[in-house]
Structure formats: structure tokens, C-alpha cells
A and B are shown apart, each in its own frame.
Chain A
Amino acid sequence: MAQSLLQLRAVEKSFVGTRALKPLNLSLVQGEVLGLIGENGAGKSTLIKLLSGVHSPDAGTIEWQGRSVHFSSPHDAINAGIATIHQELAYCGHLTVAENLLLGEPWPRHRWGGVDWTLLHARAATQLARCHLEIPTTRTFSDLTAAQKQEVAIARALNRDARLLILDEPTASLSAPEVERLFAHLNRLRTQGVAILYVSHRLDEILNLTNRVAVLRDGKLVASYPTHEATVSRMVKDMVGRPLEQVYPRSRSYRKAAPLLELEGATREGMFENISFQLHAGEILGLAGLVGAGRSELARAIYGLYPCDTGTMRLKGNPWSPRSPDESLDAGMVYLPEERKRQSLVLDHSVRDAISIGFSDLFTRWGMIRAQEEQSAITNAMRTYDVRAKTVTQPIGTLSGGNQQKAILARWLERKPDIILLDEPTRGVDVGAKAEIHQLIDKLAGSGRAVLLISSDLPEVLSMSDRILVMHHGSIAAELHGDAMTQENVMLAASGLHHANR
């Protein structure tokens, strides 16, 4: 039995209003690869932040190499030997690879105090070579591919003698060959005795790479078992905590109806290319693909945040080229953006304002909102969409992620739109709210609305959609129907390996 490296004892953490982590025990030994899985909001990122020194636990102890430690900053954690590779790599894009690698340590100097660039690049090159990487150290960091950036980040961590490497969704923006390369790299590290905490939504990767799986749900460690005992269905059941049918309801069967939205060769330079599809009344059209494949960009163009360069769009049979989103709203189309806090909310505005901004123009006179109608509409909407708030004057930011999301849905759906563009509607939402939102989407399509569902959550997109379009590098890589709608097919197409021959 290898030596215990990390031991968490009854660690817990709360943020305003929510208990992100309930008392939690977890251990890791040298050379072990632990897969950490759980739904969005299950507490994975909180756990990572505790280990990487971003937050401190409210209670409980973190034991590192047999000693109880307290990290008061990310710097402490790095010095102790815990390196975290975040989803979004925090590096200086305009600096070279060498500069980024050696950032934060003393640089070699000439006698007169200037930087010895030759020696700097030589040092960086040896560091990369030690990790079996061949990346020119003079390249600008922002010019690297996502995979190369990650490799540089890992090399940097290892050169600081990291004993534990935490990887948060490392494959989110990698292609399949790049993923394989990363795995080979990680396996090599494992044999060198580096422990890895691997956080991912992709269960196949978990099965491939890890020795052990830990499942978080609602801030609790609900299960932990060796990977050879794990199956996809067992892991899903543990993550979700309820049978799948309840989370992914399906009450309707889709019958072909009139197209409400038609795209023909829609292109916008650098975002998406030659997109053609039809979205029908009563249909849920899934739009899958990797982050950065151009799905949100496409939805925003349809919504009128910017125009297409070429190609035509038709809305309810009429030519459609909106100059701004208010035209879309008037035409009966709404868009739920992916980033709730950045793109939807003013966190310290009241629940009332946050909801009614979507539809209060429907009952104004002389520009004034009729208070009674607004009040009843809000009350009604909060009941319909089950927005749980103490009062309507409470700041929206004090609600949970799920309730915020339902409030935004209420904002838009109270307009009774015909075409609904949903961008990651259940991101960062707890399981209960997720099930409610799914039921809502299902009901919307059932009542004849057309829904475009953009989601990176594969089970969600697979089970909710009537049809799936998969985007890769800005164009549609595949259209999947019926039995072809499988996790493998979506992933293959999303990574550009599936040719549009199905």
C-alpha cells in the first residue's frame, strides 16, 4: 500500500445561504488517479478551491503528507506541492512559453541586471524536455492550441515539484487525439508517483484513466469505489440520486409540424460557417458540440446580437435579419444566455425587477408600468415556474443558482414566445431544479413551441432532444436522429471524427 498523500477529515464549507460542502472525508495515496464526478453544483469546484488554497474550510482538517495544513492562498498550496490546472488557464497570453513557464521564480540575470534570455529559454526548454514536450519556448502563449497550453501548464506544475495534480475538466476543449496524448502524459506521471485528482463530466474518460471514483452529490461524498467496479449507469445513478426518467422526462412524441425557424447557409466569419437547418413547431432540437464550437455564437446571431455575413434566415416564413434583440422579442423569440451572472442578471436588483424586465413592456402606459398588473404577473410567474424567494424585493443574487435560472426562464417565458433558444439551461443548477427545468422544456415543446437546446450535458441533450445537430469548428458535423443519437456518435462528431455520412 502506497503512502497516504492527502487526507480530508470532516471538511466543510458554506457560502452565503448555501452549504457547498457538507462534512466530507476523502483520501488519496501516491500515484493514485482519483476521478471526481458529480453534477454541476455538487461541490466539485468548491472542493478543488479548498485544495488549491482559494478558499479555506469552515471546519475539518486537510492533512497533506501526514501533516495538518492550512493554505491561506493559492501560493501556499503550490509551494506545498498541490498544482491545479483550471479549466480556464490563467496565463499571460502575450508572453512567450518560456516566460510563462518561469513566471513567479527568479529569472537568470546578466551581470548588469538585464534578463539573460538565452539562459531563460534554455531552462524552459529543459523543463519541457523533462515532460517529453516539444514546444518552441519562443512561441507566444496565446498562439498555442488548447492542448499545448494545457501541456505547458502541467509542465509548469511539475517543475515546481507538484505531488498532486488537480485537473478540472481538462478535456473540455480538446479533440480526441489530443485527449489520448494527454492521457499518455498523465499515465507517465502516475508511474512517477504523482497523484492526480481528475474532475470530469465525461464518464468514459473516468473509466479509462482512473483507479478510483468518488461521487459528490449536493456537497456530500455519496459513493467511492475502485474504477473496475464502476459502470456508467452506476455512476450516473450515484451522481443524480434518482432514476434517470425523473430527471429526463418525456411526455410527448414529436410529430412533424411547420418550420418556425429556417437557416440556409448562415455564415459569420470566425464564428460559424454554412449553417442550414429547420426548427419546427413542437420540436426540441438539440445542439451539441464542444465548448467553442460556435453553438452560442450561432444562437446569438439568430437572436440578433450581431448579423450574419452571408446566408439567409427565415422566421415563421418571413425573411429574418434582426438588427437588435428587441426585434426578436417582438417577433416572439427569446434567448436564454449561457452565463447567468454575466449575461442575464444584475445580482443586487430585486427578484421583481429581474423577472419583469422581460415582459413589463407588455403592460405599460405612457411608459409607466401598471403596478397591479405587474404584481399579479410576477406572482403568477413565480408560481408557474416555481421560483422560490422570500419576497419579491429580495436581491436576485441571494437566490440559489436553480432559482435564479427559473427566474430568468420566467422572465422570458411569460412573454409566451414561439421560439425559444436555450443555451446551457441547467448549467450550475442543482438536480431538483434541473428536473423541473427539463419538465418545463418538455411541456413547452408539447404546447407547440419550438425549442433549440444548446447543451454540453450529454445525457441532457440526448434524452431531451427529438433530433440533434452536432457542431464542430463552426459547422454542422452531423445530424443525428432516433437510434443514431448516442453518446459515442455525438462525441465523435463533436471532435470532428464523424463525417456527415449518417
Chain B
Amino acid sequence: MRRWLLPLILLAEIALFTILSGQTFISASDAGAYFQSYFADLLCQSAPVLLLAFGMTIVLMTAGIDLSVGSLVALVACVMSSFPAGTEFWWTAVPLGLALALLLGATNGALIAWLDVPPIIATLSTMILYRGLCFVVMGDLEKSPFLSVPAYEWLGQISGAALLVLLTFIILAFWLNRSRWLREILMLGGNPIAARYAGIPVSRRILQVYSLVGLLGFLAALTFTARNSSVSASSLTGLELQVIVAVVLGGTRVQGGAGSLLGTFYGVLIIAVMDEGLRGAAKWGTEHLPFKISHLEYVLLGLLLVVGVWLNSREKTRRPAA
């Protein structure tokens, strides 16, 4: 059901917001141009969320959760922003950011796999910890070295961001779909005891999954900083909520053992379109409402999460498909 339901919702949503925004088209080519730039913006805007959501999908398959993704990306971005701009940024800040992201992800994994901390508590702790470190690194400053780095802004444009996202998606989806690794992940998510009895190195796999989130968090940090050009200690607060809602909406269930990357893709876009639509809501003539329409965002996110979980519990026997 999800397979056609999600794209359908997405299309309906786009149509609705296009109409509401009062956009009129004088010709087909006009409409074409409009949607071309619309989708380009959408993809660039949601690139960080998409990348993180891919990782989160796999985390949810293990019956885990990662609340620290927003803080992780922010911390990586903050640390990178402390480096001087210039060509050397590419071989100082970038590799260091990558190493840091992997380390932060692996820390989550180690807490969960080795110290047996429940994922929600482990990543709640690191969510706070990493955010705290952002403030330590940045203070109250807002830094923006990124656009002075040669060729960096390419990462935020449609060619760069889309390439990164699609490449990640294709590699993950193609490889995972046929890999034994994913089967092991699904089994340990569905029944960790049985996975251990089946000789699956459960701790190692969990460490790998959370490190993969770290890696994707690094890519997310690149696309985010390239597009927003500046970063402060409180950047990306609440990002984890968007990511989790998108993944659940996409049909990955929180109990583990099943999930879909393609569903996640749709889930992210549905939320991004909603976000974008609400932001443009000023044009709808809603001034007489006692609240701003764009403030509805969290209300809708909450509702979407409930709907997503409910739908997932209805189709328990879904086959995992990458």
C-alpha cells in the first residue's frame, strides 16, 4: 500500500500548496520552469534531512533510534567553521570533520553495543552532550567561512547536493538490497537473541550502523553549511524530530526488523513540501487567524508521526525493501 500511497500524498500535497500559493501559469513551459526550480530548491533544502534519514532508517531497522543526529551535524559544522577559509580548508577542516563525525557516531554505537545503554537514553545523552560542545566551541558567535572556500558552494547547489543525495541513495539502496549485512541488521532488529544464536556479531553491527549515521551526518553537514553559509551553536535544533518523523512516515517501523529507504525518501519530501508550503502561507490571506500558519509545523509533525506509526502497525508483515 505504501508503495503508491506515499508518492500520491506527495503529489497531492504539491498540487494543494501550488494552488493555495496562488501561482498561475500562462503556459506549459512556464509551469515547467516553475516546477523545475521548485524541485531543485526542495532537493537542496532537504539534502541534510534526506542523508540523515537514510541513516536513521537503518538505525530504526535495528530497533534503535538516534536522537543525536541534529547535534552531531551541528557539532561537525561548528568545528569545521572554526578553520580559516581558503583552499587549505579542503584538507584541514573537511577530513577532520569526517573523522569527528565518525567518532561521534561510533560513540553512540559504543554506548549502545558495549555498555548496553538503551538507544533512546544513549543518544539523548549525546544529543545534549554534542549540543553542549557546540556552545563550547562557538560561544555566541555565528561563523561563516564556508562561502569563502573555493568550490564549496557547489555542494549546496542543485548539481552538488542532488548528486550527493542520489549517489548515496543509489549506493545504499543497491548494495543494501542484496547485502547480507542488511539481512543481519534486520534480523538483529527483529529478534536480537535469535541473531546472537545465529552467529551474527550483534555488537559489531550496531557499532557499524551508528558509525554510518556519523558518516552520513558528515555529508549532511557539508550540504547544510554550503547552503546556509553560516553556522551557530544552536543551528539545526530539532532536526532529529523531522528525520524520525520522515522515516516512520516512510514505512519503517520503530520496533525494528523492517524498513524501506525509498519510503524514507518520500517521507522526507512530504515533510519538506509541507514545511515550504506553510512558509509561503502568508499569501493565503490568513492574516485574520489568531496564530501564524507557519507555527502549525510542529503540530503537523506530531500528527504525521502518530499517523505513520499507526499505518505501520497496520501492515505488520511488510517485506523489507531497500
Contacts and interface: CB of A to CB of B under 8 A. Distances in A.
B199 A326 contact: yes
Contacts of B184: 357
A348 B258 contact: yes
B197 A335 contact: yes
Contact of A348 (B194, B196, B200, B316): B316
A72 B186 CA distance: 37
Contacts of B316: 348
A357 B187 contact: yes
Interface stretch (A109-117, A364-372, A439-447): A364-372
A414 interface: no
B194 A343 contact: yes
Nearest to A393: B319
A324 interface: yes
A345 B191 contact: yes
Contacts of B201: 324, 326
Contacts of B84: none
A361 interface: yes
A423 to B, nearest CB: 10
Given A360-B180, A367-B179, A368-B178, A344 B319 contact: no
Interface in A403-443: 411
B175 interface: yes
A48 interface: no
B206 to A, nearest CB: 14
A395 interface: yes
Contacts of B200: 326, 357
A475 interface: no
B199 A329 contact: yes
B193 A349 contact: no
Contacts of B181: 367
B198 interface: yes
B191 A367 contact: no
Contacts of A350: 319
A291 to B, nearest CB: 19
A427 to B, nearest CB: 15
Max chain B Cβ within 10 angstroms of own Cβ: one of A335, A344, A345, A346: A346
A335 B198 CA distance: 9
Contacts of A344: 194, 197-198
B194 A305 contact: no
Given A349-B186, A358-B198, A342 B193 contact: yes
A353 B194 contact: no
Given A325-B198, A348-B316, A360 B190 contact: no
B178 A357 contact: no
Interface in B192-248: 193-194, 196-201
B29 interface: no
Interface in B18-41: none
Contacts of A393: 319
A421 B184 CA distance: 22
Given A346-B191, A348-B317, A305 B178 contact: no
Contacts of B193: 342-343
B183 interface: yes
Contacts of A343: 193-194, 197
**Majority-rule SS of B interface residues:** helix
A328 interface: yes
B257 interface: yes
Nearest to B318: A348
A94 to B, nearest CB: 22
A324 B180 CA distance: 19
Contacts of A325: 196-199
Given A348-B258, A367-B179, A369-B178, A353 B187 contact: yes
Interface string A300-332: 000001000000000000000000111011000
Contacts of A348: 190, 257-258, 316-317
A357 B198 contact: yes
B179 A349 contact: no
A178 B21 CA distance: 81
A357 B197 contact: no
B277 to A, nearest CB: 36
A282 B178 CA distance: 37
A357 B193 CA distance: 14
Interface string A131-169: 000000000000000000000000000000000000000
Interface in A365-386: 366-369, 371
Contact of B175 (A360, A361, A367): A367
B196 A349 contact: no
A81 interface: no
A337 interface: yes
Contacts of A346: 186-187, 190-191, 194, 257
Contacts of A366: 175
Contacts of A349: 186-187, 190, 257
Nearest to B253: A348
A305 B199 CA distance: 9
Given A337-B197, A348-B258, 11 more contacts: A326-B199, A343-B197, A346-B186, A348-B190, A349-B186, A353-B183, A360-B180, A364-B179, A367-B180, A369-B180, A371-B178
Interface of A: 305, 324-326, 328-329, 335, 337, 342-346, 348-350, 353, 356-358, 360-361, 364, 366-369, 371, 393, 395, 411
Please name the 7 residue pairs, one residue from A and one from B, whose CB atoms are nearest each other, closest first.
A346-B190, A325-B199, A326-B199, A368-B178, A329-B199, A346-B191, A367-B179
5 contacts: A326-B199, A348-B317, A364-B180, A366-B175, A367-B180
